[in-house]
Structure 1
Amino acid sequence: MAFAHLHVHSQFSVLNGVPAPKKLVAKAAELGMDSLALTDTANLYGAVELYKACKEKSLHPVFGAELWIDPRGIATREGGLGPSFAVVLLIEDDTGYKNLCELVTRAIFEGIYYRPRVDLELLRAHAGGLFCLTGNGETGAIRGTGDESRVVALGDIFGPERMFGELMDHGMDFQAVANAEVRRMAGKFGFNTVVTNQVRYLKPTDAVQLDLLNGIAMGASLGDKARPRQQTDQQYLKSEAEVRDLFAEDGEAIDRTHSLAHACHYKFPSGIYYFPASVPPDKGGETDENWRFFLDAFPPSQEFPIPAARPEEGGTLSGYFRWYGRAGLDLRLRYVAEDQHAIYKERLEGELTMIIKMGFPAYLLIVAEFINWAKDRGIPVGPGRGSAAGSVVAWAMRITDIDPVRFALLFERFLNPERISMPDIDVDFAQDRREEVIEHVREKYGAPLVSQIITYGKLQAKAALKDVARICDMSFPESDKITKLVPERLNITIEDAVKEEPKLRALIEMDPKVRRVVTLAQSVEGAVRQTGVHAAGVVIGDRPLVEIAPLYRDGPEGGPVVQYDMKSAESIGLIKFDFLGLKTLDQVRDAVAMVERNTGERIDILRVPEADEATWTMLIKGDALGVFQVESDGMRGLLTKLRPNCLDDLVALVALYRPGPLSSGMVDDFIDRKHGRKAVEYPFPELEEILSNTYGTIVYQEQVMQCAQVLAGYSLGEADLLRRAMGKKDAAEMGRQKVRFVEGSVKRGHDEKKASDLFDLLAKFAEYGFNKSHSAAYGFISFQTAWLKANHRAEYMAALMSIDAGNSDKVLLYTGDCRKSGIRMLPPDVNLSVGRFDVPKEDRRSIRFGLHAVKGVGEGAVEAMVEARRTGGPFKDFMDCLRRVDARKVNKKVWESLIRCGAMDTFGLPRARLAGALEDAMSAAADEQAQKAAGQVSLFGGGGNVAPAFRMSNVGEWTVGERMKNEKEALGFFLTGHPVTAFADEIEGFGFKCIADLATVEIESGYSRNGKEHGICAIITGKRVIRNKKGDPMAFVTFEDPSGSIDAVLFKDTLAKFSAMLEVEKPLAVRAKVEQQPDKPRSLRLEACEPMEDLRERMIGKAELRVRASELTEEVLLQLKELFTQNPGNCRTRLVVEEPGRFRAELSVGRSWQVKATPKLVDGVRSLFGRPEALVLTP
């Protein structure tokens, strides 16, 4: 073959190219080509992917980019694209790669105006090692207009030997003229020509996909005649024969593509790591200067005692690393029994030696530096995450806070000397301060050496359907109907959705418009739609990163982002560190701070007592809502079954609660062994020490490794390779490993058959085995949060609700949990509330609502109110509040929300009156603020035009129903009341459960329906009716009561019977069975329901009227008699008359007072006396 495609766009020319680089390479190989270029617009996103794909197919990769040049200068921001033109730059060598990285980066950071651009001066400065293709036609340097200025400018920069005129033919008229111009100018200026095809898809029929993607990019309808559209279907990856047919007279230009491709010989380096500087300027041995360099570069925690003189070996990287680890371990051992010290020290020395041998001291020192920097500044850091928790060195250096010896964690699970690869330490930081740590790293190493990592957002099923529906002129309700039928599952495809959802299939069959949208959406499904920033990945280099990789910026104010995704970045030697945000750390910090403020107690959260009885008692009851990792319905149910009483149990539970172990019966087996219902047995006596903490069950990957070590003589490094082979189900490798395992076991005197059986057992459990290091770290956080909830419940729950203030569903759950445990929820109050939920020091059994939880009340508004109180004291009344709070930061909608939720009740006026008067009151307050700003009001109240006092209009108060409705609009849920609470007597009398209690109802089989029905009183807050695969109707509804919410399903017969009763926010009496699916919240299968009012009328047998003697006036008695007369029935009535502290009398009344507990009677009596407890109803 003597042709190579040199101008090729992939899906990384976002929404202007179709195929992935891997597919382009596969097609080129299929066509017999030996090389391929990738030249996406203004980026190198796909370069590493191209490199790997070419290596796999034995093709020669050519790297490049299409770049826009603006002769007016990169700073130009007027006149549109004007004289700008696009060229293709191909990388020849290392110099060219660095230069193109610089050009692409500068184009994005400095030159975005319609397109990322550079100018001629910048191009000249970075032209070394690059070949230039001129482009062709409407956007290229040669356009068929006779203008030679662009070619002259490019020739001046590259010279004729490094510049090539592009010949193209996509069947468009203007290209014939442009090609003639290319040939003419090539002859005149002495440069050569090449044939290209500006590839954007694989085959002609893919032009439709490109048109779709262009339409999505522009947000323009496919039917819009004014929309620029594809004029050709010829921009596909043509074969050499097709190219020669088109350019029969340009054979040399075709041949030249091959020679040019092979002149581009840049390849990504391998086997190198760009570690941040970790070697002192003086490399010559042990010196005090070197010691000081290491102390400055990698300072340990402030707790470390720094010796006055340089310790032995401290002047080298490995020596400093050893000192750091040993000094840190000495501090850790203060909390370890002395007879155990030798175990820790021996393991530390072995790990230090191994890490030094593998070449990773610098990596651990870098991680330790930013972690200890954060800890020393009060930024919460997680105790560990992933396999790093298995290292004593990491523990000693304060990288982790999990004792690996105490939890029997393995270093080889972190770093395996048998399979050397870069360490990977993920670090959790408090979410609200994570960015501070990243900024510290930028300052320490220099901003040019630090970057985040790019991610690519792809058109998944729902997104593809929405985008295509929009450009096909489908209305939002129509498209919403389609997308809502796509099952909620990660990475589901449109094809899978159509197979699984009969209603979607029916729509496709019945409606040609839907059929077209689905078909077109499938054609672009999986395409790159946008770029973003990886949630955690940060790269630190040893030089400006632009010399290693091109950079991107996510928006005008965004920081630098490496253009290669995480795996690509690591594969070329960039060192990645994961900075994750974990909101649980924010919650723990805030709860601990609140406890200290309220009690003076300083909690060391790393040393809370593991044997705390209150914590285990709480967990055994399943009272774990808000407890890290164990708050789901399924987990809380398991807690009641497992009845954990030690940290090892909790760590195991974190590992076991996954679909594999749950569905295999492994969890039930674990529980039965713990409680003695099954015998704890060990295949070999030697395994008891390894498996005793998990009752003979293999739960962790580390246990698989230890079994191989003890039984078959594997080193732990070899055992890690065995674990990997088992996890990947590599049959060939498993066969080899089984022979090795059985032979090793036999050599140690074990029975061959039993050894073979054990290997098979290990292989089975390896499928479900979990990383114990990660489980121990997260199990420890679970215990910390459980301890806080058990011992400082109000402060912990307030911290939880503060972090989740924007999630009304979660706040509802947590408020229900608080009420159930006797903690009062105090409403928002403009005089007492701050932004966060808070526990008053004087009443630690209550929580004051935070203003951040009020919808529409932003940070600025909260700050303005708190500042006004700080400077002027509490607000005296409504007008004082409006006068003193900065009107620029608090608008009418904010005040309305505060009134609706009850935050202004502190002023003693009905909410309806405040709402009705708000507009006039705001106007008066604004006038007064303006006068004060103009200096027209005397400090002493005289000599100015003071605004007159505002007069409140006399408006009637909202009904109870209106109050609750307005509260829900402002908060997302009911706060001071709930439609269900009107039936409190009936709920108690009928033995109904609250929704929160259903989380711990025992289910006969972990994942099937419980045969027992449970009764609840709840309202419906959401309803969706669909058809199942058989075409039968079924409904999903969401029930809510003051304790929380739960989803329920109604199948065909139940739905038909009760559909008329499923009214939103109408209290219902519900009978249902509890269901549990693996790794999903519990739900209900509804069996029956009826309005609570109907149930009350039907079932209430006794009514007790409780009044004060002073209330029984003649008028009240007449009204009572009228109510009772209008609602006759068989419910017996008793009258209780009392005066608190003086007397109490119970009076029987006659048959004329027997009633029916109708809504009219109940609401009438309770409204007459102004309190629900005036009428108590019982069955």
Structure 2
Amino acid sequence: MFINTHTYYSLRYGTLAIKELLQLAQDHGIKTLAVTDINTTSACLDIVRVAPEFGIRPVVGVDFRNSARQQFIMLARNNEGFLNINRYLSGFLHNDEIIPDRAEVLPHTYVIYPFGSYKGDKLLEHEYIGVRKEDLNRLKFSSLKKRPEKLLVLQTVTYNSKKGFNTHRLLRAIDNNTLLSKLPLSEQGNEYDQLCSEESLKEAFAEFPELIQNTENLLESCRIEFDFTKETPNNQNSYTNNEALDYKLLKKLTYEGLPYRYETPTDAILDRIKKELDIIKEKGFVSYFLINWKILKYARSKGYFYVGRGSGANSIVAYLLRITDVDPIELDLYFERFINLYRKNPPDFDIDFSWADRDDITEFMFRRFKNTALLTVYNTFKHKASIRELGKVFGLPKEELDKLSKGEYDFRRLDKLSQLVVMYSKRIQGFPNYLGIHAGGILISEKPIHYYTATFMPPKGFPTTQFDMVVAEDIGLYKFDILSQRGLAKIKDTVEIVKYNQPTLPPIDIHDIKRFKEDERIKYMLSNAKAIGCFYVESPAMRMLLKKLQVDNYLGLVAASSVIRPGVSQSGMMREYILRYRFPERRKEAHPVMMDIMPETYGVMVYQEDVIKVAHYFGGLTLGEADMLRRGMSGKFRSREEFLKVKDRFFDNCKASGKPDDLTSEIWRQIESFAGYAFAKGHSASYAVESYQSLFLKAYYPLEYMVATVNNGGGFYRPELYVHEARMHGARILAPCVNYSRAETVIQGKDIYLGFMFLHQLESRVIKKILEKRSKEGYFMSLDDFLDRIPISMEQISILIKIDAFRFTKRNKRELLWEAHMKINKTTFDENIQTLFKTEKISFKTPELPSTQLEEAFDEMELIGFPLSDPFKLLLAPSRSKMRAKHLPDYVGKIITIEGYLVTVKNTATSNGKRMHFGTFLDRDGDFIDTVHFPPVAAQYRFRGKGIYGITGKVMEEFDCITIEVTKMVRYPIIEDPRYADNDTRVRVHSKRYKNKA
């Protein structure tokens, strides 16, 4: 009886979650339900999967609307009809087209037009008119009364209560970006669009029993079926269009890869290959491996750097196909994490490319493989966004919104409107807000993508599904992860920069990982955490972990890459791992069973494989159940019944085998806090390979590596720190110059010229014109020469002059600014007019206008965001404190005061939700100071932006790692900006600040 039902995937319209809707239907005794969300099929597969659990037979379709105006409803009679509806809807979404009044004829579908808005005079066999309860009086006087066989009961379902209707109106106001009081009736649904019992509907339509019968017959004729058992993947099932040929090709490529990877393959290697190939074939994953191989073969042909990681990095077949660079034999990678007979989904291959190369890889995949689409993600309403959106709808002032979004209020003391904002923000929190694009997920299916979903076309320009990766996996569609990261671009660019800056050096073999593992410089950098700019090992937390572990080898770094993950540290096992790593006698305290399962990590769960091992050997679960447990811990399936059953079985098995309850509970706690965050060992090993590549470049080509880092947007820190790091390695940092700089930063010997892209508000067309003219006509000889050749506005030339980009003229930039003002129109002009004879220049006598180094620093802060000189020289009252970071080991346990330039802050919370911080500063020598700010101090002494702070606190040492537990912190004031002081003041400040410089 219900042919027009909405979930909250009718974005900013519907209010019912899928299970909430199905539970309501079950409570009303409804046996068949058609879910027809507005211009989307996001909910359809989940409805088909879950509805039988509620005793409901699902029907699916789409409610086609222009904004809130209903044009028609389409229902799928079967899977072919669903395919046709998805294709039809996708056409409108791809081209942003208006939905017409009349639907196109699509096989295996029904079309229902709303009564009163249907303009046609003839209905086709598959077309009907939907009549609402409020239409019944008009129906009695309509010509359609004579055609009862074409009429259906139309009871739209969008919410389930008055509060649900209010929520709907708020969502509509958000969607229309309007005050609730100004929301037009045409943009909202009917208050009575709610679920009711079928008996009440039959009673309302008692005068027209044909409508009831027609509706029941139509719903009965619809049958939609999908297989959610996932016995075989629904990905493209053959690479060569012949599965037997696929396997022969995979086997051939695998053995052809042996000479590249192993000089003399051992029996263990050959046995592992055979074992993997057999299971890959049995599980139907052959084409999955071949497609990944093809993608990366194309990448190598284009010279693209890439890293293959994920659980698939545990596979020797992947290693031989050059999908990954991790040797599973060397690292003793757990085979069952990669694949086992109980596992239904293929192994994960996360393929990282440079951000500059990934789009081309994506285009290649869409060209090469037929049924391809990007995966969507559901961007949901978050707490702060909900507060702000609803606050605007109610017309609250910004100050009130700020207070509410920060949670700085007592609910009982709020006015009525603010209380409503808080109440309804909690109600819509978690609702889908809009569809985005998964970070790297791409589907390649055997059947057309539209067999499963409609697609939309985001700005990226590739068809994108309307369901996410969880739903995709439910139906047996497993994504290919094509990701981008800047670390690879830094490695690639460094190699190129070394070529032009040190052309006499031999070519760099960046893939000689075996040599890197034995390199003494790299060992020193690792154990002393000298890794700023290096992939995955530069963050303050990783820097401190490396010091605590004193890691100087590859395997140690592999472990550290996973130990640093949140779950390990939150469970308390990171500290335990450090203790057992550094103090072998501590290992005796580990439970013998755990030591037997994980001897390499001293009985501590470090990798995802460890969850499977513990669940299997300690908890008595099958490998399939153990893998379900691991996946469930990620949060995607945590609430699902099958996961909860596995959890119960874990405890039951442990009890049956006589394990103490307190031990079982502790092991479960560790699993629960850890599994959703940990890396597979092969994944960590892949990260470690890239870390070693970046460490090698940092060790031997630090200046070139820092230039590449800056040009690729930095890393964990702001660009300023990488500029500082280059200076610490002997570079001379120079502001942009019109004769030597490019858009990106460049290096000449040890001189690093910052790129024009550093200059805030310098237009890209100006940069382009400078580079073009300089390339064709040579260096600029003077400001006049520049103005002759470059069309530029006064605002743009001011940026270049103030950053001292004309310093080659040997003229004071204040004089150049004066001259530019006299010679340039203050409006932008497009192009200089070329004339046969040059116009004689008018000479202006500019006054002497001296500038100081302090003024230079303030110009730099304004234009590039930080000074190129020592920031400590900008303090209003320069301190004579001699305390430095290198002195701190001598003051362990004592209270000291030290000055530090703020680098970064990590905000976190204690177990009871109180805010605390970890700070990173630089001292006057450029060395790091690490601080801990516990909640009382964090509340009293807040960070107040960039600058130099006086830090007072107790020096603490743990595992040779020095930190300061802060008790007091003050941000020191800097001098007044001398550019806006009078001339006498500028000269006075200049002489005072630099009188001792000589």
Pick the TM interval, shorter chain.
0.7 to 0.9
Q: For 1:415 and 1:954, how far apart are their aligned partners in 2?
A: 78
Change (3 A) 1:795 1:413: same
The 8 Å contact of residues 619 and 654 in structure 2, kept in 1 or not, is answered as no
Aligned to 2:215: 257
Aligned to 2:248: 319
- Correspondences of 1:346-365 after superposition (within 5 Å): 346-365=271-290
The 8 Å contact of residues 809 and 972 in structure 1, kept in 2 or not, is answered as no
Q: For 1:927 and 1:724, how far apart are their aligned partners in 2?
A: 60
- 1:123 aligned counterpart, secondary structure: coil
Q: For 1:643 and 1:530, how far apart are their aligned partners in 2?
A: 46
Give the Å deviation of 1:468.
0.9
Aligned to 1:615: 522
Give the Å deviation of 1:895.
3.3
331, 352, 367: which one pairs with 2:292?
Answer: 367
Q: For 1:929 and 1:815, how far apart are their aligned partners in 2?
A: 35
Aligned to 1:303: none
Give the Å deviation of 1:200.
1.5
Q: Which moved more, 1:416-425 or 1:868-877?
A: 416-425
Q: For 2:929 and 2:848, how far apart are their aligned partners in 1?
A: 35
Total equivalences in the alignment: 965
Give the Å deviation of 1:511.
4.1
The 8 Å contact of residues 944 and 971 in structure 2, kept in 1 or not, is answered as no
222, 246, 259: which one pairs with 1:330?
Answer: 259
Q: For 2:708 and 2:919, how far apart are their aligned partners in 1?
A: 30
Amino acid in the other structure paired with 2:160: L
The yes-or-no answer on 1:390 pairing with 2:320 is no
Aligned to 1:471: 393
Amino acid in the other structure paired with 1:586: A
132, 144, 153: which one pairs with 2:111?
Answer: 132
- 2:501 aligned counterpart, secondary structure: helix
1:855-914: CA deviations, max 9, x gaps?
Answer: 1235444333222221111211223223323x3xx6554433333333333333333333
Change (3 A) 1:1083 1:823: farther
1:915-949: CA deviations, max 9, x gaps?
Answer: 444455443998894321xxxx22xxx3xx63635
Amino acid in the other structure paired with 1:881: F
The yes-or-no answer on 1:25 pairing with 2:22 is yes
The yes-or-no answer on 1:185 pairing with 2:185 is no
Q: For 2:883 and 2:843, how far apart are their aligned partners in 1?
A: 52
439, 454, 464: which one pairs with 2:363?
Answer: 439
Give the Å deviation of 1:46.
1.4
Give the Å deviation of 1:198.
1.8
Change (3 A) 1:696 1:1166: same
- 1:504 aligned counterpart, secondary structure: coil
The 8 Å contact of residues 980 and 1041 in structure 1, kept in 2 or not, is answered as no
Aligned to 2:91: 106
Amino acid in the other structure paired with 2:808: T
Consecutive unaligned residues in structure 2, runs of 5 or more: 635-642, 976-982
Aligned to 2:224: 266
Give the Å deviation of 1:1016.
0.9
- 2:443 aligned counterpart, secondary structure: strand
Give the Å deviation of 1:12.
2.0
- 2:544 aligned counterpart, secondary structure: helix
810, 814, 820: which one pairs with 1:908?
Answer: 810
Change (3 A) 1:882 1:379: farther
Q: For 2:572 and 2:716, how far apart are their aligned partners in 1?
A: 36
- 1:166 aligned counterpart, secondary structure: strand
- 2:779 aligned counterpart, secondary structure: coil
Q: For 2:495 and 2:574, how far apart are their aligned partners in 1?
A: 34
1:746-795: CA deviations, max 9, x gaps?
Answer: xxxxxx989x9998887666454642122221122222222222222112
The yes-or-no answer on 1:545 pairing with 2:449 is yes
Structure 1 length as normaliser, TM-score?
A: 0.73
Q: Which moved more, 1:419-428 or 1:407-416?
A: 419-428
745, 769, 789: which one pairs with 1:864?
Answer: 769
460, 468, 485: which one pairs with 1:565?
Answer: 468
Change (3 A) 1:53 1:714: closer
535, 560, 573: which one pairs with 2:439?
Answer: 535
1:518-555: CA deviations, max 9, x gaps?
Answer: 22323332222222222211112335433443221125
The 8 Å contact of residues 1038 and 1048 in structure 1, kept in 2 or not, is answered as no
Change (3 A) 1:369 1:92: same
The 8 Å contact of residues 982 and 1172 in structure 1, kept in 2 or not, is answered as no
Amino acid in the other structure paired with 1:906: F
- 1:974 aligned counterpart, secondary structure: coil
Aligned to 1:41: 38
Give the Å deviation of 1:422.
3.2
Aligned to 2:747: 839
Q: Which moved more, 1:53-62 or 1:697-706?
A: 697-706
Change (3 A) 1:185 1:320: same
Q: For 2:683 and 2:200, how far apart are their aligned partners in 1?
A: 56
1:180-210: CA deviations, max 9, x gaps?
Answer: 46x63141x4633222222221223311111
Q: State the structure with more CA Rg.
A: 1
Comparing both chains, which one has the higher relative contact order based on Cα–Cα distances under 8 Å and sequence gaps of 6 or more? 2
Q: CA RMSD in A?
A: 4.5
Q: For 1:853 and 1:473, how far apart are their aligned partners in 2?
A: 39
Give the Å deviation of 1:343.
2.0
899, 903, 913: which one pairs with 1:1016?
Answer: 899
Give the Å deviation of 1:118.
4.5
- Correspondences of 1:1123-1142 after superposition (within 5 Å): none
Change (3 A) 1:454 1:221: same
Change (3 A) 1:1090 1:606: closer
- Correspondences of 1:272-351 after superposition (within 5 Å): 273-276=233-236, 278=238, 280=240, 316-334=245-263, 338=264, 341-351=266-276
Amino acid in the other structure paired with 1:832: Y
Give the Å deviation of 1:86.
0.8
Amino acid in the other structure paired with 1:55: P
Change (3 A) 1:984 1:397: farther
Give the Å deviation of 1:676.
3.7
Change (3 A) 1:1053 1:615: closer
The 8 Å contact of residues 293 and 323 in structure 2, kept in 1 or not, is answered as yes
Give the Å deviation of 1:211.
0.9
Give the Å deviation of 1:1040.
8.0
Q: For 1:918 and 1:604, how far apart are their aligned partners in 2?
A: 50
The yes-or-no answer on 1:461 pairing with 2:425 is no
Give the Å deviation of 1:559.
2.3
Q: For 1:243 and 1:712, how far apart are their aligned partners in 2?
A: 53
- Correspondences of 1:936-975 after superposition (within 5 Å): 937-938=835-836, 942=837, 946=839, 948=841, 951=844, 953-954=846-847, 956-958=849-851, 960-975=853-868
- 1:797 aligned counterpart, secondary structure: helix
1:117-151: CA deviations, max 9, x gaps?
Answer: 2575x703x2x2111212134xx31xxxxxxx424
The 8 Å contact of residues 310 and 683 in structure 2, kept in 1 or not, is answered as yes
Change (3 A) 1:1083 1:834: farther
1:458-504: CA deviations, max 9, x gaps?
Answer: 21111111111112112334323432x1xxxxxxxxxxxxxxx5x33
Aligned to 1:74: none
Q: For 1:331 and 1:1023, how far apart are their aligned partners in 2?
A: 44
The 8 Å contact of residues 917 and 938 in structure 2, kept in 1 or not, is answered as no
Aligned to 1:418: 342
1:74-104: CA deviations, max 9, x gaps?
Answer: xxxxxx99xx971111111233222212211
564, 578, 592: which one pairs with 1:657?
Answer: 564
The 8 Å contact of residues 6 and 14 in structure 2, kept in 1 or not, is answered as yes
Change (3 A) 1:692 1:612: farther
- 1:33 aligned counterpart, secondary structure: coil
- Correspondences of 1:1039-1050 after superposition (within 5 Å): none
1:281-301: CA deviations, max 9, x gaps?
Answer: 6x6xxxxxxxxxx9xxxxxxx
Q: For 1:105 and 1:388, how far apart are their aligned partners in 2?
A: 34
Amino acid in the other structure paired with 1:321: L
- 2:718 aligned counterpart, secondary structure: helix
- Correspondences of 1:597-636 after superposition (within 5 Å): 597-599=500-502, 600-608=505-513, 609-636=516-543
Give the Å deviation of 1:6.
0.7
Aligned to 1:582: 485
Give the Å deviation of 1:800.
1.5
Aligned to 1:593: 496
Aligned to 1:150: 120
512, 515, 521: which one pairs with 2:419?
Answer: 515
Give the Å deviation of 1:229.
5.8
